[in-house]
Amino acid sequence: MKRPARRLRLVLALGFGCACAGAAAATDVAVERVATGLSRPLYVTAPASDTERIFVVEQRNGSTGRIRIVALATDTLLGTPFLSISPVSTGNEQGLLGLAFHPDYASNGYFFVAYTHADGTLRVERYAVSAGDPNVADPASATAVLSIAQPQANHNGGWLGFGPDGYLYVSSGDGGGGDDNGAGHTPGIGNAQDITDNLLGKILRLDVDGDDFPADPTRNYAIPAGNPFVGVTGDDEIWVYGLRNTWRASFDRETGDFYFADVGQNNREEIDVQPTGSAGGENYGWRLREGTIATPSGGVGGPPPPGAIDPIYDYEHGGGPLQGNSVTGGYVYRGPAISLRGRYLFADFVNSRIWSLVWDGSDPSAFDGTNFLDFIDHTGTPEFMPDAGILTNISSFGEDAAGNVYITTLGGEVFRIAAVPSLPSLAPVSLAALGLLLLLGGLLWMGGRTAPFARCRASIGLDRTGAA
């Protein structure tokens, strides 16, 4: 007799169907390699409306910095660079450092780069895509935007990004060396605390659609009227100051909050947040402060400057799971992986650790390094083990037009954080429903000939002609 087994299989199927129907499909995370064989990649971005490509910044190959394209349909690295810039300087922290596409790139074809020239200056320039090929820029279209002299070869900053306000933000380091001190550094206070005729150790905000300096071919930008030092003491370009060497910044594409990671010297690495709607002008404390503490070295540390803003999170130098030596800033994830949404992803370059946290929304006046929720160490977890290659010496994060987040490693690889559907999970209420259905099935099987059970059998189709 096969009827009882068939009835039991049907009841089990009905039970599992009911149990699973109300359970939302969980989403998990996987890291997949999309490109390899690059030369010191350290950034990924894309024009706002271009979901078919990502553009990868190669710091340098010899004395040439390059922008490469990956076609996302096949994850293919195109052989011809989008743009090559030469000569760039070749120090460890020098080369092609930043890339940002104009918000109206689809119509005007403009994009901006930041690089250290062979003469050591940090240069910001505008280029245009070529007329005949969307995968190749016009190298003859270079237009100077801004140039900043660098006293030493390190701490160049070089991140570029357009904010929700349409202005271009530019990060600069403090000029290099140690303790923001010595030749080329403002005596007594350092470059980062000097806001007069000094653009080092800052984040600048520029209007690249205007020109307030028509007589100066090296300055092709306007000053936004809302910049904090317009009309008062301080350089008009400055948006915030008191930074050592911001290594990667980003705007939360959903809220507009501004996140930036400032690389420490010998003791602390920090994550800073400027909430959307800020009027600018914040002082983040360097060289007096390293993270949430007085800078211990060089005799330059001290109490916070008046009104200074502490980081929302800082961590000590070392080799432990919550330690590192050189922070790599990232993004608030807004991509398809549900479990990561709203989490700020960042890493440590030296220790190759990947973490995430959620800013708790507290007011900047209350920032003290503990203003976060739900800290997670993703290092070595199954979700963050790539399908090929290795996540080591993480040089940057990046974001494509769809909100997917990428990771670059200085060894030449680019990875994507992907959303992977997982098996549905069974909620407790669904399991209870399953138990009731199994009980009902057993009663139907054992007592199916009595009138009540016969009616129940008929209601679920077990007494149809030709059925069990």
Q: Is residue 466 part of a domain?
A: no
Whether 129 shows a pLDDT value over 80: the answer reads yes
Q: Indicate whether 84 and 43 sit together in one domain.
A: yes
**pLDDT exceeding 70 applies to what percent of the chain?**
84
Pair (254, 153) in one structural domain? yes
Instruction: Tell me what pLDDT residue 413 has.
Output: 98
Cα–Cα distance list, 180 to 26, 98, 190, 402 (Å) = 49, 23, 5, 39
Token pair for 146 = 């801004």
Rounded CA-CA distance 395/112 in Å is 20
Residue 461 scores a pLDDT above 90: no
Closest CA to 176 of 244, 123, 122, 124: 244
The CATH number that applies at residue 184 is 2.120.10.30
Question: Are 388 and 444 found together in one domain?
Answer: no
pLDDT at 439: 52
pLDDT band at 48 (very low <50, low <70, confident <90, very high): very high
Q: Is residue 226 part of a domain?
A: yes
Q: Are residues 113 and 248 in the same domain?
A: yes
Q: Is residue 85 part of a domain?
A: yes
pLDDT score for 423: 53
Q: What percent of the chain has pLDDT over 90?
A: 84
Segments forming the whole domain that contains residue 225? 27-421
Q: How many domains does the chain have?
A: 2
pLDDT over 80 (residue 61): yes
- Same domain for 117 and 153, yes or no, is yes
Distances (CA, A) of 105 to 126, 127, 290: 12, 11, 38
Q: What is the pLDDT of residues 224-262, one digit of tens each?
A: 999 999 999 999 999 999 999 999 999 999 999 999 999
Whether 356 has a pLDDT exceeding 80, the answer reads yes
Whether residue 465 is contained in a domain is answered as no
> What is the chain's mean pLDDT, rounded?
89
Report the pLDDT averaged over residues 334-348: 97
What whole-number distance in Å separates Cα of residue 198 and Cα of residue 180?
A: 13
Same domain, 17 and 31: no
pLDDT of residue 133: 98
Per-residue pLDDT of 395-444, as tens digits, reads 999 999 999 999 999 999 999 999 997 655 444 444 455 455 445 455 44
Asked, for residue 87, whether it belongs to a domain, the answer is yes
The count of residues in the chain is 468
3-state secondary structure of 7: helix
Amino acid 435: pLDDT: 53
pLDDT score, position 421: 79
Q: Taking 60 as the threshold, does the pLDDT of residue 169 lie above it?
A: yes
The reply to whether 90 and 186 lie within a common domain is yes
Q: Please answer whether residues 348 and 373 qualify as being in contact, where contact means their C-beta atoms are separated by less than 8 angstroms.
A: no
Fill in the amino acid letter for 204: L
Whether residues 367 and 435 share a domain: the answer is no
Does residue 446 sit within a domain?
Answer: yes
**Tens-place pLDDT, residues 67-102:** 999 999 999 999 999 999 999 999 999 999 999 999
- Region 117-142: mean pLDDT is 98
Extract long-range pairs of 208-211: CB within 8 Å, 24+ residues apart: 208/102, 208/110, 208/112, 208/126, 208/145, 208/167, 208/168, 209/166
Report pLDDT for 446.
Answer: 46
Structure tokens at 406: 């990428």
Judged on CB neighbours under 10 Å (0-12, 13-18, 19+), 51 is middle
What pLDDT, on the 0 to 100 scale, is given for residue 432? 52
Looking at the structure, do residues 11 and 83 belong to the same domain, yes or no? Answer: no
Q: 374 and 446: one domain?
A: no
278 and 179 share one domain: yes
**311, part of any domain:** yes
Tell whether 468 is covered by a domain: no
Same domain, 362 and 243: yes
Strands 293-294 and 289-290, by their bridges, are antiparallel
